[in-house]
């Protein structure tokens, strides 16, 4: 009988390493919730992400991969279909175009301001850092902007969905990025674009 042996894979979630992190709600903006480190289900990927209890349970039950692996897998499928139809070169260019050329309306507004300010900026830049618990965090930054002083600051353009469900990601970005991270609320762009524009301009011009 082999039933007594544990032939299962290691669990994805480390339930002993929970940590209280920001999880704001509309009426309780300062609320914190316990998050757990969760391994990616792809055994070749070392990525660990912090999830709430219910999300971690779901990730374990459905053996979920991290966002990056999911994106790569989805991209590969799309790539294969496009490559079969139009050839690999065309498909590759289509993937690159798609990644850079799909800014949200609010991202477009911010990009226009940065261009207007003659700012040096990069969209969708990668940033990765390891937290004190040894968990590796990988970020794709909305805007990486050089200030007049030559510093690199991050501008993140966040909508309601992001603020509600991705606050924990922003917590880590702010902790781990060695420079300033400015979070721009899309609601604020809609309500008072001039104020947001001025704040961004000021941040870029800072000579400290």
Residues of this chain that interact with Zn ion (CB under 5 A) are 40, 42, 45, 47, 65-66, 69
Task: Select 69 or 182, whichever has its Cβ closest to Zn ion.
Answer: 69
Instruction: State the alpha helices, DSSP H only, in the chain.
Output: 53-61, 67-86, 88-100, 105-116, 160-165, 167-176, 186-191, 193-205
Helix (H) or strand (E) holding 49: strand 48-52
Instruction: Provide, rounded to whole angstroms, the least separation between the CB of residue 77 and Zn ion.
Output: 16
Side-by-side strand order, sheet with 136-146:
120-130, 136-146, 152-158, 181-185
Task: Select 44 or 194, whichever has its Cβ closest to Zn ion.
Answer: 44
Task: Select 69 or 83, whichever has its Cβ closest to Zn ion.
Answer: 69
Instruction: Provide, rounded to whole angstroms, the least separation between the CB of residue 119 and Zn ion.
Output: 33
Burial class (CB in 10 A: 0-12, 13-18, 19+), 67: middle
Task: Select 51 or 204, whichever has its Cβ closest to Zn ion.
Answer: 51
In a 13 Å sphere around the CA of 30, the CA atoms on its Cβ side amount to: 0
Instruction: Provide, rounded to whole angstroms, the least separation between the CB of residue 201 and Zn ion.
Output: 38
Instruction: Provide, rounded to whole angstroms, the least separation between the CB of residue 38 and Zn ion.
Output: 10
């Amino acid at each position: 009988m082999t039933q007594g042996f544990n032939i299962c894979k290691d669990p994805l979630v480390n339930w002993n390493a929970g940590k209280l992190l920001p999880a704001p709600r509309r009426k309780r903006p300062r609320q914190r919730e316990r998050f757990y480190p969760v391994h990616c289900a792809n055994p070749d990927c070392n990525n660990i992400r912090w999830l709430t209890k219910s999300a971690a349970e779901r990730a374990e039950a459905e053996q979920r991969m991290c966002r990056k692996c999911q994106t790569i897998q989805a991209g590969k499928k799309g790539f294969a279909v496009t490559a079969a139809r139009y050839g690999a070169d065309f498909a590759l260019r289509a993937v690159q175009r798609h990644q850079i050329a799909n800014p949200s309306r609010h991202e477009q507004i911010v990009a226009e301001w940065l261009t207007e300010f003659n700012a040096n900026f990069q969209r969708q830049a990668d940033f990765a850092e390891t937290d004190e618990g040894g968990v590796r965090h990988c970020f794709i930054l909305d805007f990486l902007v050089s200030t007049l002083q030559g510093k690199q600051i991050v501008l993140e353009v966040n909508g309601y969905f992001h603020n509600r469900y991705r606050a924990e990601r922003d917590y880590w970005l702010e902790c781990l990025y060695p420079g300033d991270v400015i979070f721009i609320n899309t609601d604020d762009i809609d309500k008072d674009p001039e104020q947001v524009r001025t704040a961004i301009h000021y941040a870029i011009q800072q000579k400290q």
